[in-house]
Structure 1
Amino acid sequence: MVMTAGVPSLFWMQDVYWAFVASALGAAVFGNFFNQILYRQRMAARRNSPSPAKPTTLTFKIQATIAAIVREFSNYSLPVTIGKKRFYLPTMGPITIMLGYVILIVVASLYKFNTKNWVQWEDIGYRSGFIAISQLPLITLLSGKRNLIGLFAGVGHERLNWLHRWVSRALFLTVLIHMGFWLSDWAKFDYILIKITTDSITRKGLAAGSILAWIVLSSFAPIRGLSYQFFVVQHIISWVGFMVALHMHVPAENLQWIWVAVGFWAFDRVVRAAYLAYNNFGLLHKSGNGVLACRASFEPLDQHHVRISIANPPITWKAGQHIFLACHPLAPLTSHPFTVASLPQDGKMEFIVQAKGGATKRFVRYAEKNSSLPNSMPRKSDRAVLIDGPYSRIRPLRQFDSVVLVAGSTGATFTVPLMRDIVEQWKGTDSCQTSRFRLEPAPGAVTRHIKFIWCLKRSTSVSWFGRELDKVAKDVETLRNQGYDIAVDMTVYVTCDEEMTSARSSNDNEKLKSGIEVIGERPTSRKGDEKPSVTENEKKMSVLISSGASSIDGTANGCCCTRVVEEDATVAPCCCGTAPSQRSSTSISNSFKKPSKRCVDAKIQVMSGRPNIAGIVRKEAELALGEMAVVVCGPPGMVQTTRNAVVSISDERAVHKGTGAQGIYVHAECFGYA
């Protein structure tokens, strides 16, 4: 159609919309490209510089300052308290991105129009419809797991999924503008019912809009979380119905947007199908033992957790990545994402899975049933499984001077492999072994110090990674004896465990063994003539558990120590017992309820209470000689508390603003999916 004089054409405004979107995507790609350059520069400088993670040239100083300002703004989340419940609003980064996007589509729909002039309402209806249809390729691109945007921007599909949902909601807003101005124009002449009953194009448009409304409504977390597998199936069916109705509604000159979106969707599906076939068909791998390449064993850890192991997996992966796993004999037609808790060099792919219902609950039940069979009965614990992946991306942590890893419960499946990967780099081992053609720098690490924090409800859960934590402790001790100026501090915080109270019998207390210490003290420089020694006090450091009166931390399920405790605390933060006058000091046992489980190394601090994350990050930041990284994986409250702590410390220390304080990179992983 021909627009009013001075009003841009419909196709020109579509070009303007995509110019802004392409600029934003280009900025993300450039940022990823610059990070890759920075990564390689640091790895190249680590042999000649005592602080390779510290920016020295003007270009990198400017980048560090800009990064610090952006991080402080984008990572902050406003806490909101309603009654006794406390929650966090979305971080400022996503809010700003979506606010800018909404402004873009509203301006693109209304630019040069007078919304009060009913004569232009029809033109606004046409324009907003054209802007709506042009958003389809972006939405489809953001939805794919084999994501082209993520590939070039260095972002995993799970981090783009929120953007996919909100751009879809912005599309619905555009459709409401499109429909609203058309209905308003028809209403002036009592023409709405006549138009709907006589015009097939209008009916098809209402059908498409209704389907889109359902897609948007069903994608909200409370509804989506009722049954995620059902949501996925109906979401795909609804999307197909929406595209068909839309194809019949839009004019021929706009059909190319639909076909481009379908092309992106088909590309994702074809690539995923190819990877799925390669990952799972045994005939494609030398180690294949049949039609399917993967068989998994299920080992119960407790009544809520199971360890799933795949021996000799046919694929490789990097620390921090996740796999979609399906076991149709146990949970038909379902697939769930699980973080890989092992490294490729272990020769097995392991997952620690928490039972939350559905498939995960069936996994735990199957493991318990199989393990409870008498030894004389044959066991068939291995089951054929299908794997899809690996997915997810994280900046290589070995480029940072110091790394703080914070995990809650099963969040350790994310942080433990990351810690082990850095240790392997210290040893000169490529723990990923992704290709015979090396695209990354040679093994090695800029990192001098790792701080590992793990929060658990029960001390017995430490055995989930007992073997891995033992190995880290021994490897680091060996490296330090060889003269490496490195250190790893591992601390486990137990928040709810009757075993960690003095209400136990005296016989139990006599069995407790001390020996909690730090694996090396914090290095002050990368190279030195002498290896820093561990003080005697650190070797003998023990955690005191009081036996005073029962406190508000106690629950019907046992003692819950919810108070924050400092690492150098000399008194227990929690009281679980009966006599307020009685107090005793006992160190935490390395033997847990299940004697069959492997004990953790004595060099791991185990404390009763919750960590002071802000204090830990501040201490690490004050000692860092270059940019440090904070990685957190756990419940939303823990994740956002950590983010806000980093923002506060970065602002307080005026990072890269002339004070000499070094930057803090944050990577956050929340429990749940999509």
Structure 2
Amino acid sequence: MARYNFANMGDGRFNPDGSPRPGYLAKMYWAVIGGFLCAALLLRLCDIGLGLQRKRRKNARPKFVLTRLHATFTSIARVVTYPTPPFLQRYPGFVYFPSVGRMLLVLSYICLLIGLFFYRNPISKSRSWENAAYRAAWLSIAQLPLVVLLSVKRLSIISLITGSTSSVTLNFFHRWVARGLLLTATLHMFYMMRYYASFEFLVLQLKTDILTRRGVGTWSVLAWIVVLSSFRPIRHYAFELFFANHVVSIIAFFIVLMKHTPSYAHVYIWIAIAIWIADVTLRWVLILANNASPSGLRYRASVSVMQDERALTVEIPMTSVGLLKWTPGQFVRLSFPTVAPLTSHPFTISSLPQDNKMHFVIRAKSGFTKRILKKTLSIGADLEKQDDNLAATATYPVIIDGPYGGPSRSWNQFHAVLSVVCGIGATYGFSVLRDVCRDKRAVRTLQLVWIVRNYRDIFAFQVHLEQIVKAREADSTSDLSVLIQVFVSDSSTIPSIGTHQADLDGFLARHVDVIQVIPGKPVIRELIRGVLDRADGETGIAVCGSQKLSADVKNDVAVLLDARAAHTGSGAQGCWVHSEQFEV
């Protein structure tokens, strides 16, 4: 920002002509954001109350007028907001297009910024260009706390208010609010350049005015953070490099911004910095409290490499201290100091707290997971094998950070629960199934659709399959219908009938009433249709896999809900989808 007349730009509310002063625009911005969050909180409280009622009555069908109206309007909203147009999914590895609901929220946010910028802001004359620049500057500074709130891990106030705990969702809106910040910062720089009137005067300002140079530097660092260094392929294929650059660049941005802006405009900057520092402090306090012990690190992880050397199983016994509590579907960040120092990676917990251990199944690809696999193979090759399916085992000290994420609604409040997962996403699916089997409440139909490439991918989850079957057999009087369908895309890897020799093959042959191994790929829409047709209330669908799988499931749900619009008023055929995705 330039220094001209800036001292008067942040004081008061309105100018004599009725237009808001630039400094007051920041308060108007937060009034709108606060109103939106209050509305989201009311919807969240309605969902909580509805869930408690369903679990208490053990019935997912709405009985009262208000709950029936709620079922109708939520179903209509999902028909509109769930889909992602198929033509926008052509290049999922390069560019990602969100659902209609997310796009509407993003467009609404951009319209808010543009609307506030142009509200009673005549910029047809040169004397109004400076005022327009200051408007954009205040809108830029006002957005900083929201950008940080959408990025923090422990002080996630927005997750608490909205119920959206998915890191993928929060990161999506974090990036788009940051792009809104870049938009208003660009408007600020553009109108300051218009105010300078000529290119020669602008060059002179850059040479003689340090405030102008700091402004250009601030915008450059922001553009580097938001656009160049945050390009999706970089985040996806070199996340550790992206994260390190992100932290350093943000620190540099705040330093330059503080020098560029006047002291009375620093309140929003200090709020953003305070939120970030408090979050980091709380996170590390909890990490130390959960992991530190007088003798060193509290937890040790037993890592096993499967025979195909593509999958790892990690088991961490939980101590009696009981500091770590998690719910099904949550993930933690694991760090192995003796294998990959100063590096951590998120993994979904596939076990329940009642197991007194954390269990993970990890697909070894590159980077962090590849290093763990190679280390285990090198030091565990000569250890005694506990299972013919294991290639090597080893034990390492481990640091646990979390838990994070998880669905905003408990699965046992629905009449039917369907989990659609692919590959390693089964860690999420099996935790949902086991939790519902343990406490089903209103659930009467429980189904898992698991898509794998190779039949041997099932071996890493044999213990999970056995746990599901054991839980079902233990409650023989239950009216809960349980079905697991494993679709193997490479059908040539499925053993022929009569050749079952391995323990898993024999186990699957004995329990075909619960577990079905099916060659080929599923028709997701028909599977969802079957569950909805049997449901006598709302259905909950858990999706874990690629962004394309999540988009396909939501598209199918929107089509089926639209076809059943006549029934949504009764509460039947309603459907809620929660998705967890592999990509960042």
Aligned to 2:249: 238
Counterpart AA for 2:416: S
The CA distance in 2 between the partners of 1:299 and 1:279, in whole Å, is 24
Counterpart AA for 1:23: G
Secondary structure of 1:385 counterpart: strand
Distance 1:81-1:213 versus aligned 2 partners, 3 A rule = closer
Aligned to 1:411: 425
Distance 1:224-1:81 versus aligned 2 partners, 3 A rule = closer
Corresponding residue to 2:317 among 311, 320, 329: 311
Corresponding residue to 1:258 among 262, 269, 276: 269
Residue 591 of structure 1 deviates from its aligned partner by 4.6
Corresponding residue to 1:297 among 288, 295, 302: 302
The answer as to 2:482 corresponding to 1:472 is no
Aligned to 1:385: 398
Residue 89 of structure 1 deviates from its aligned partner by 3.0
Distance 1:248-1:473 versus aligned 2 partners, 3 A rule = same
Q: Do the aligned residues in 1 keep the contact of 2:459 with 2:504 (CA within 8 Å)?
A: no
Instruction: State the Cα deviation string for residues 545-572 of structure 1 (Å, max 9, x = none).
Output: xxxxxxxxxxxxxxxxxxxxxxxxxxxx
Corresponding residue to 1:53 among 53, 56, 60: 60
Distance 1:458-1:370 versus aligned 2 partners, 3 A rule = farther
Q: Do the aligned residues in 2 keep the contact of 1:476 with 1:487 (CA within 8 Å)?
A: no
The CA distance in 1 between the partners of 2:421 and 2:299, in whole Å, is 29
Residue 655 of structure 1 deviates from its aligned partner by 5.8
Residue 499 of structure 1 deviates from its aligned partner by 3.0
Distance 1:189-1:456 versus aligned 2 partners, 3 A rule = closer
Q: Do the aligned residues in 1 keep the contact of 2:133 with 2:192 (CA within 8 Å)?
A: yes
Corresponding residue to 1:167 among 171, 177, 186: 177
Secondary structure of 2:475 counterpart: helix
The answer as to 2:485 corresponding to 1:491 is yes
The CA distance in 1 between the partners of 2:16 and 2:202, in whole Å, is 25
TM-score (norm 2): 0.90
Residue 498 of structure 1 deviates from its aligned partner by 2.7
The CA distance in 2 between the partners of 1:201 and 1:165, in whole Å, is 28
Moved more, 610-619 or 651-660: 651-660
Instruction: State the Cα deviation string for residues 418-473 of structure 1 (Å, max 9, x = none).
Output: 100011114xxxxxxxxxxxxxxxxxx11011011111111122122212212212
The answer as to 2:352 corresponding to 1:343 is yes
Q: Do the aligned residues in 1 keep the contact of 2:69 with 2:569 (CA within 8 Å)?
A: no
Corresponding residue to 1:643 among 554, 558, 567: 554
> Matches of residues 595-610 of structure 1 in structure 2 within 5 Å?
601-602=511-512, 603-610=514-521
Aligned to 1:420: 434
Aligned to 2:291: 280
The CA distance in 2 between the partners of 1:303 and 1:26, in whole Å, is 50
Counterpart AA for 2:499: K
The CA distance in 2 between the partners of 1:600 and 1:295, in whole Å, is 36
Instruction: State the Cα deviation string for residues 216-268 of structure 1 (Å, max 9, x = none).
Output: 12122112234211211121111111111111111222111111111111111
Counterpart AA for 2:543: V
Distance 1:19-1:424 versus aligned 2 partners, 3 A rule = same
Q: Do the aligned residues in 1 keep the contact of 2:351 with 2:359 (CA within 8 Å)?
A: yes
Distance 1:599-1:187 versus aligned 2 partners, 3 A rule = farther
C-alpha RMSD of matched pairs (Å): 2.4
Counterpart AA for 1:58: V
Q: Do the aligned residues in 2 keep the contact of 1:452 with 1:489 (CA within 8 Å)?
A: yes
Distance 1:179-1:459 versus aligned 2 partners, 3 A rule = same
TM-score (norm 1): 0.79
Q: Do the aligned residues in 1 keep the contact of 2:71 with 2:568 (CA within 8 Å)?
A: no
Residue 178 of structure 1 deviates from its aligned partner by 0.4
Q: Do the aligned residues in 2 keep the contact of 1:590 with 1:599 (CA within 8 Å)?
A: no
The answer as to 2:72 corresponding to 1:65 is yes
Instruction: State the Cα deviation string for residues 552-605 of structure 1 (Å, max 9, x = none).
Output: xxxxxxxxxxxxxxxxxxxxxxxxxxxxxxxxxxxxx9755xx9x998844311
Aligned to 1:194: 204
The answer as to 2:405 corresponding to 1:398 is no
Q: Do the aligned residues in 2 keep the contact of 1:463 with 1:600 (CA within 8 Å)?
A: no
The answer as to 2:140 corresponding to 1:132 is yes
Aligned to 2:528: 617
Residue 32 of structure 1 deviates from its aligned partner by 1.5
Aligned to 1:356: 365
Counterpart AA for 1:668: S
The CA distance in 1 between the partners of 2:362 and 2:84, in whole Å, is 29
Aligned to 1:150: 159
Aligned to 2:579: 668
Q: Do the aligned residues in 2 keep the contact of 1:310 with 1:348 (CA within 8 Å)?
A: yes
Instruction: State the Cα deviation string for residues 109-140 of structure 1 (Å, max 9, x = none).
Output: 22212333222111100111011101111111
Pick the structure with greater CA Rg. 1
Corresponding residue to 1:511 among 464, 476, 499: 499
The CA distance in 2 between the partners of 1:668 and 1:199, in whole Å, is 51
Runs of at least 5 residues in structure 1 that lack an aligned partner in the other structure:
47-51, 284-289, 427-444, 503-508, 514-588
Instruction: State the Cα deviation string for residues 291-332 of structure 1 (Å, max 9, x = none).
Output: 111111110123221111111255121100000011121112
Counterpart AA for 1:469: L
Aligned to 1:549: none
Distance 1:261-1:374 versus aligned 2 partners, 3 A rule = closer
Distance 1:292-1:493 versus aligned 2 partners, 3 A rule = same
Corresponding residue to 2:217 among 203, 207, 219: 207
Instruction: State the Cα deviation string for residues 175-207 of structure 1 (Å, max 9, x = none).
Output: 000001111221337310111111111111111
Secondary structure of 1:112 counterpart: coil
Distance 1:656-1:32 versus aligned 2 partners, 3 A rule = farther
Residue 282 of structure 1 deviates from its aligned partner by 2.2
Runs of at least 5 residues in structure 2 that lack an aligned partner in the other structure:
1-7, 10-14, 386-391
Instruction: State the Cα deviation string for residues 497-553 of structure 1 (Å, max 9, x = none).
Output: 533376xxxxxx54249xxxxxxxxxxxxxxxxxxxxxxxxxxxxxxxxxxxxxxxx
Secondary structure of 2:554 counterpart: helix
The CA distance in 2 between the partners of 1:83 and 1:53, in whole Å, is 37
Taking every aligned residue pair, what percent have the same amino acid on both sides?
32
Residue 84 of structure 1 deviates from its aligned partner by 9.9
Corresponding residue to 1:23 among 10, 29, 35: 35
Secondary structure of 2:328 counterpart: coil
Counterpart AA for 1:634: G
Aligned to 1:9: 21
Number of aligned positions between the proteins? 556
Distance 1:189-1:636 versus aligned 2 partners, 3 A rule = closer
The CA distance in 1 between the partners of 2:111 and 2:90, in whole Å, is 34
Aligned to 2:342: 333
Aligned to 1:441: none
The CA distance in 1 between the partners of 2:97 and 2:571, in whole Å, is 32
Aligned to 2:282: 271
Counterpart AA for 1:396: S
The CA distance in 2 between the partners of 1:405 and 1:84, in whole Å, is 25
Corresponding residue to 1:653 among 564, 568, 571: 564
The CA distance in 1 between the partners of 2:196 and 2:31, in whole Å, is 33
